[in-house]
Amino acid sequence: MAFTFQINNSLKFRHDEALLAKSEANRPEIIKKEVKPVRLVDICEDPAWLGGWAPADNGKDISSLAEYGCKRNDKLILDFGDHMVGTFRIHIDQTGSPMDAPLFLRLKFAEMPEELKAESRDYDGWLSRSWIQEEFVHLDELPADLVLPRRYSFRYVELTVIDTSPKWQAVFSDPVVTTETSADYSSFTPLVLDDPDLQKIYDVGVKTLADCMQDVFEDGPKRDRRLWLGDLRLQALANYATFDRTDLVKRCLYLFAAMTTEDGKISANVFTKPKNVPDDTFLFEYSLFFISTLYDLQKVHPDMDLVRELYPVAKGQMDITLKMIDENGKLLTDENYPVFVDWSNDFNKDTAGQAEVIYVLKQFIELAKLVGDTDIADYESSLIKISAYAREQLFNKERNLFVTTGDEYNIGSQVWMALAHVMSDEENKKIMESTIRELFPVKNIATPYMYHHIVEALFEAGLSEEAVKLMKDYWGKMISLGADTYWEAFDPDKPGYSPYGSPIVNSYCHAWSCTPVYLIKKYLME
Amino acid sequence: MAFTFQINNSLKFRHDEALLAKSEANRPEIIKKEVKPVRLVDICEDPAWLGGWAPADNGKDISSLAEYGCKRNDKLILDFGDHMVGTFRIHIDQTGSPMDAPLFLRLKFAEMPEELKAESRDYDGWLSRSWIQEEFVHLDELPADLVLPRRYSFRYVELTVIDTSPKWQAVFSDPVVTTETSADYSSFTPLVLDDPDLQKIYDVGVKTLADCMQDVFEDGPKRDRRLWLGDLRLQALANYATFDRTDLVKRCLYLFAAMTTEDGKISANVFTKPKNVPDDTFLFEYSLFFISTLYDLQKVHPDMDLVRELYPVAKGQMDITLKMIDENGKLLTDENYPVFVDWSNDFNKDTAGQAEVIYVLKQFIELAKLVGDTDIADYESSLIKISAYAREQLFNKERNLFVTTGDEYNIGSQVWMALAHVMSDEENKKIMESTIRELFPVKNIATPYMYHHIVEALFEAGLSEEAVKLMKDYWGKMISLGADTYWEAFDPDKPGYSPYGSPIVNSYCHAWSCTPVYLIKKYLME
C-alpha cells in the first residue's frame, strides 16, 4: 500500500469557541465497569484462527492465580473472554527469599492471539511502533498494586516476568479491567434475529461500535483513538440503530465545525486530548461527509436549530467541492485532497469521487431547502450537470458499468454510483447485477469501510440476497477467524494482510466495520 | 567467579520491636537538591576511559535543548557533570503536525559512559537484569511533565525516542534531578591536602560515601541499594572521618541487632523497604563485624547505654564463632557460612578467617571489659589459644609469611594477620615487607574492599609509603579511567572485568570503596 502522510503544519485553523463550548456541553459520561479475567490460556497453533494462533486453556486455574510463582522469563496470559477497552490493574507480591532486586515486568495487551506471537523488536512498519500495546515496568518494592494509567484495547493480557532474581518469584492476584465506554447498554435492547449467523454478525457489530464509543466516536480504541469524519458518518448511522446517543454525534459535528481551516475546509480528523486540535490531513469525501452526517442526524432526530447552526459549515464544504467541478460537470480530483473510497490505491477513484459528490449534493440540497437557502437553484443546477456528466460520459452502455479514467471498470465506481442513485432504480439494479457478474468475487479490497458500501449498494439496488451473502462471507469470516470485534482491515483472500506490515499495530476493533448493525436493521428489519 | 546465591527461606527470624523502634528513631532526614545537566554529549571511543568510551561535547547547546526536535531513533545524552543519586523529571512537548501517535521513549541512566554502549538485550548474566537502569515510557498526550517515580544512580541520562510518527517530533526541556542523600555537606569541611593526587582520591571518596548515605548506609545506590554489615563497618569509619552522622550508624546497628535468626545469628544484610526484613544470606565475618562496628563507634562517640544495649547481640556473634574453633584453636570454616575476604574464590580463606576472628575478638574483649562481662576470662583464653594456633601452626618462619590450607601463601592471610596484630609490630612490618616482595603486585583481586585491607595493613605495619603508592595506583587508576565515584569491583590488570558479565549491572558507586577518606585522615593526617 502506498500511503503518504500529509504534512500541512503551516496551515492556520479557526477555533470557534462558541461551537467548541457546545461540543463540550455534549461530552458524554464515560460508563465504567470492572471485569475480571475468565481463564488462563496459552497461545497455540490453530490454522482456523487468524494468523494460525488461538487461545487454549493451559490447565492452570485462574482462581488459583496467586499460587503460580513466576521467575525470569515466566509468562501468564489472562483471557478476559471478550474484547475490553479500559484500564488495567493487578496486585503483585513475591514469594521465596526476600526481594533482593526489583521486579522487571512486561505487560502486553492483545486484541487477537497472533499479536502475542509477534515480536515487538521485529516491527519495522511505517506506522509508529508506539502503538504496540506493551509496557515495561520496574517495581522496587512488593507487595504493590500496579495500576497502569493508560487505556488499552484488548482481550488478552500477557504478563512476562523479565526478571526477579534466583531467590524469589513474583505472584499475581486480582487482575481487574475497568472498562470505559459511552455506550449505555442499560437502555439498549439488541435485535433478536432468526438467522443465528446474522445474529452473531449483529452482536459483534454492536460490541465493536460500543467499544469505539468513548469521549468521541473513536475510529479504533487501540489505534488511532481519534475522531475521523468518514468513520463518524458510519458510526452515527450504527448508533441510531442501537445505543442512539445523539449527544455524541452532536459533539462530534460541533468539533469538526468549530475547527476548519481559515478558508473553511474541514479536516479528515480531529484530536481532543489534551486539547481540541484539528489534524492537518484532508480527505476529499471526508470533508463532504460532514453534510451527510448532519443530514442523517436530521432525518432521525430532527433539530432545525442544529441544522441552521451548522449549515454554513456544510455549505462551505460543498462550495469547496463545486470549485473542483469543470464546465462539463466532471470532478477534477486533486492528489493533495485525495478521494479515499478505500485504503487501496490500486484502482482509480475519479468516478467514485464523482458519485460521492452527487450522493452528498442531494443531501445538501435537502438541508438547503430546510434552511431556505436562496442559492438553492445554483446547487440544483450543479447536481443536474454533475449527474448528467456521470450518466453521459462515464457510463458504458455496452458493459452496463461505469468507467473511470482510461478504460478501468472498478467496483468503487459502480458502488458509489448506485448509492448516489445516479440512474433509475431499475438501471441501478442492472448495474449492480453486472457488477456481481463481472467484478465479483471482490478482489483486493481490504477495508470493511468499502465492503460496507458494496453491501449497502446491493441493498439499495434491491439485491438483498446478494447483500446478505456478502455480509456473511465477509463479517462472518472475521468471526470464524476469532474476532470478538471487527477489524480495521480484512481481505478474505489474504487474512494475514496488514496495511502496516505487522498484526502488532493492526486495530482489531475499528468502528468503520460495525455497520452490519445498521445494515441489518435498515434493510432486513424495517 | 563462582557465586552461589544462598537460599535459606525456611529460617525463622526474631523481630525485636523495641530495637526496631530505635532504628526508626535514628532514621536520618533525606536532604534533597535540584541539579540540572551541564551539557549534551555523545559517547565516543577513547582508550583512556573505562571500556574505551568517553563523553564528548556533541556541539549541541544544553541551553537550547528545547530546539532539538527528536524523531524515531533520535537520541540525546544529558551529562549532569558528576555522579547523581536521585529522581528525574523532564518536560516533554512536541513540534510539527498534531500528535497522531503516542510518544514511546526510553530513558537510560548510566554511571559510566560504557553502560550506554551495552545493549540491554545482550545481557545474560546471573544477576537480575532488573538492575539495568532503563525505563520505557509511553505518553499519550503532550505536553507532559514526565516525573519518574524511582530513584536512579547516574551521571548520564540517555533519552532515546523509540518512536513518534513521521508527522511530529518530541522536544525536551527542563531536565532536573532531585538528588537524595543523608550526608549533610553544609556541616562538613573536607580535608585540604598538599598532594593533588591524594586530594582527588579523597574528594571522589567523599562523593562515593555521600551518595551511598541514604535512609541506611547502602552498599551501592544503583545496586543492591541495601545495608550490608561488612560494608557498614567501612562506611561507618569513613563517616566518622567526614560527615560523622552517628544517628545513621546507630540506625544500622539497631536494624541488624533487631533481626537475628532465632539462634542469634546476624544476616549479612537487611532490607528496609517496604518493611524491615533480614536477608537469608550469611557471611562469616560480616556477622562478626557487628562487634567491630559497635567497637569503632564507641571509640569515636562513646555511648555506654548503646554498648550495654547491643552487647548481648555482639556476644551472640562471638559465641557462634567460638563454637567453630577446634580444641587446638583452629577455625573450622563452614561453606554454608562462608568467609568472604574478597569476591574471588580463587584463594583459600581459612587463615584470613582465623585472623579475622582474632581481629574481632580483641575488639570484643574491650567491649566485654566496658560492660563488665563476667565471662571475660573465657574470651581472653580463647584469644590466646586462637592467636597461638596462628603463630605456631600457620606462620612459616622461613618464608616469613602465613600459610593457609595446603601450601598456599596468599595476600589475604598476610593482610588480615597484620590487621589483627597477631605478631609484634616489628614482625608485622617484616611480614608485610615479605608480602610486598613475594605477593606484589597484587593479582586477581577485584574488590576495593580487599584493597582497603591491603592498604590498611601496610599502614598498620608502618609501611606508609607503600600504602600511599598502592592507594594511588588503585583508586587513582579508577579516577584516570573516568570515575566520579569509586566502583564495586575493579581489577587494575583487567579494567573491563565485571563480576556479572556486563558493565550494565556493575555498581560504579559502591560504598566499600570510599575508604581512602578514612585511610588518608587516620594515617596521613593524625
The three-class DSSP label of residue A85 is strand
The pLDDT tens digits for A326-364 are 999 999 999 999 999 999 999 999 999 999 999 999 999
A113 touching chain B per CB within 8 A:
no
Distance from CA of A385 to the nearest CA of B (A): 38
Q: B130 and A274: CB-CB below 8 Å?
A: no
Among all residues of chain B, which has the CA nearest to that of A11? B97
Chain A, residues 210-249, CB within 8 A of chain B, namely 223-224, 226
Q: How many domains does chain A have?
A: 1
Distance CA B28, CA A152 (A): 42
Q: Does the reported pTM lie above 0.90?
A: yes
Instruction: Report the C-alpha gap between B229 and B336 in whole angstroms.
Output: 17
Note whether B98 contacts A280, CB cutoff 8 Å.
yes
| Same domain for B175 and B73 | yes
Alpha-carbon gap, residue B295 to B318, rounded angstroms: 13
Contact indicator for B172, B123 with CB cutoff of 8 Å: no
CATH code at position B120? 2.60.120.260
CB-CB under 8 Å, B128 with A101: yes
> CA-CA distances (angstroms) from residue A1 to A345, A446, B471?
7, 11, 66
Contact yes or no for A273 and B9 at CB 8 A: no
Residues B135 and B2 in one domain: no
Residue A135 lies in a domain: yes
Q: Which of residues 1-20 of A touch B (CB under 8 A)?
A: 5, 7-9
Look at residue A152 and tell me if it is in a domain.
yes
Task: Count other C-beta atoms under 10 Å from residue B237's C-beta.
Answer: 25
What pLDDT is stored for residue B115 in this prediction?
97
Report yes or no on B467 lying in a domain: no
> Would you state the pLDDT for residue A101?
97
Would you say A123 and A502 are in contact if contact means Cβ atoms under 8 Å apart? yes
What is the average per-residue pLDDT within B364-377? Answer: 98
Nearest to B133 by CA among A138, A364, A163: A138
pLDDT of residue B197: 98
The verdict on B43 and B167 lying in the same domain is yes
State how far the Cα of A513 lies from the Cα of A486, in Å rounded to an integer: 6
Q: Tell me what pLDDT residue A1 has.
A: 35
Average pLDDT over chain A, rounded to an integer = 97
Residue where the block lists cell 458493459? A399
Q: Is B138 on the interface with A (CB under 8 A)?
A: yes
Q: Which residue has the cell 475497568?
A: A178
Q: Is the CB of A7 less than 8 angstroms away from the CB of B167?
A: yes
pLDDT in tens, A174-194: 999 999 999 999 999 999 999
A271 vs B98: CB contact, 8 Å cut-off? yes
Average pLDDT over residues A383-407: 97
Same structural domain, B23 and B51: no
Examine the pLDDT at A4 and tell me if it is beyond 80: no
Q: Which residues pair with A401 in a beta bridge?
A: A396
Please calculate the CA angle A412-A414-A417 and round it to the nearest 5 degrees: 105
Residue A97 has its nearest CB partner, among B103, B167, B280, at B280
Backbone angles phi, psi at B286, to 5 degrees: -65, -45
Q: pLDDT-derived band of residue B125, with 50, 70 and 90 as boundaries?
A: confident
CA distance B230 to B482: 27
Residues B175 and B215 in one domain: no
Q: Say if residue B176 is in the same domain as residue B42.
A: yes
How many angstroms separate the CA atoms of B436 and B432, rounded?
6
Q: Are residues B12 and B111 both part of a single domain?
A: no
Q: Which of B9, B97, B167 sits opposite A97 (nearest CB)?
A: B9
Residues of A in contact with B128 (CB under 8 A): 72, 100-102, 104, 163-165
pLDDT at position B2 over 70: no
Cβ–Cβ < 8 Å for A415, A435: yes
Last residue of a domain, one of B255, B281, B307: B281
Partner-chain contact A102 B280, CB within 8 Å = no
Closest CA to A116 of A158, A163, A79: A158
Closest to B224 (Cβ–Cβ): which among A7, A100, A127? A100
Interface test with A, best of B138, B139, B219, B279 (most A CBs within 10 A): B138
Question: Nearest C-alpha of chain A: how many angstroms from B506?
Answer: 14
Per the domain annotation, does A40 fall within a domain? yes
Residue A9 is predicted with a pLDDT of 83
What is the pLDDT at residue B3?
58
Q: Give the model's pLDDT for residue B426.
A: 98
Q: Domain containing B220: what range? A: 1-30+193-281
Q: Is B98 on the interface with A (CB under 8 A)?
A: yes
A72 touches chain B (CB under 8 A): yes
Return the residue matching grid coordinates 541539579.
B35
Q: What pLDDT, on the 0 to 100 scale, is given for residue A3?
A: 58
> What distance in Å separates the CA atoms of residue B249 and residue B300, rounded to the nearest whole number?
12
Q: What is the ipTM of this complex?
A: 0.97
Cell numbers standing for residue A56? 487454549
- Could you give the count of Cα atoms lying within 13 Å of A197 in the half-sphere of its Cβ? 12
Cβ distance of A163 and B8 shorter than 8 Å:
no
Residue A518's contacts (CB-CB under 8 Å, 6 or more residues apart) are A234, A237, A238, A240, A241
Chain segment B490-504, per-residue pLDDT in tens: 999 999 888 888 889
Q: Does A71 touch chain B (CB under 8 A)?
A: no
Residue A89 exposed, middle or buried by CB count within 10 Å (0-12, 13-18, 19+):
middle
* CB of A385 closer than 8 Å to CB of A329: yes
Cell of B322: 567460638
Nearest to B5 among A99, A167, A280 (CB): A167
Rg (CA), chain B: 25
pLDDT digits (tens, 9 = 90+) for B402-427: 999 889 999 999 999 999 999 999 99
* B381 backbone dihedrals φ, ψ, rounded to 5°: -70, -35
- Among B254, B204, B245, B264, residue whose Cα is nearest residue B227: B254
> B211 and B139, same structural domain?
no
Residue B89 lies in a domain: yes
**Residues B102 and B214 placed together within one structural domain of the fold:** no
Which of these three, B227, B247, B281, is where a domain ends?
B281
* A308-322, A488-502, B126-140, range with the lowest pLDDT: A488-502
pLDDT digits (tens, 9 = 90+) for A102-121: 999 999 999 999 999 999 99
User: Which pLDDT belongs to residue B499?
Assistant: 83
A269 part of a folded domain: no
Which of B9, B97, B128 is nearest residue A96 as measured by Cβ atoms? B9
| B81 and B142 share one domain | yes
Whether B153 and B227 share a structural domain: no
CA nearest neighbour of A504 among A69, A175, A115: A115
Q: Exposed e or buried b for every residue in B453-470, given b needs 16+ CB within 10 A? A: bbbbbbbbbebeebbbbb
Q: Do B97 and A8 touch (CB under 8 A)?
A: yes
Yes or no, beta carbons of B273 and A162 under 8 Å apart: no
Question: Would you call A165 and B104 a contact, using CB atoms and an 8 Å cutoff?
Answer: no
Structural domain ending residue among the three candidates B213, B247, B281: B281
Q: Is the pLDDT at B31 greater than 60, yes or no? A: yes
Q: Which residues contact A397 (CB under 8 A, 6 or more apart)?
A: none
Specify the pairing of strand B134-139 against strand B75-96.
Answer: unpaired
Would you say how long chain A is, in residues?
526
Of all residues in chain B, the one with the smallest CA distance to A267 is: B98
In this structure, is residue A510 part of a structural domain?
no
| Count of CB pairs separated by less than 8 Å, A with B | 125
Q: For residue B273, what is the nearest residue in chain A, using CA coordinates?
A: A141
CB contact under 8 A, A128 and B102: yes
> How far apart, in Å, are the Cα atoms of A262 and each of A269, A294, A315?
16, 21, 15
pLDDT at B482 over 80: yes
Q: Over 80: is that where the pLDDT of A2 sits?
A: no
Tell me: do B177 and B218 sit in the same domain.
Answer: no
Domain contains B463: no
Residue A196, CA distances (Å) to A36, A191, A206, B356 in order: 28, 12, 15, 83
- Cβ contacts of B103 on chain A, cutoff 8 Å: 130
Task: Measure the CA–CA gap between B152 and A181, rounded to whole angstroms.
Answer: 38
Reported as a single tens digit per residue, the pLDDT across B240-260 is 999 999 999 999 999 999 999
Question: Is B128 in contact with A163 (Cβ distance < 8 A)?
Answer: yes
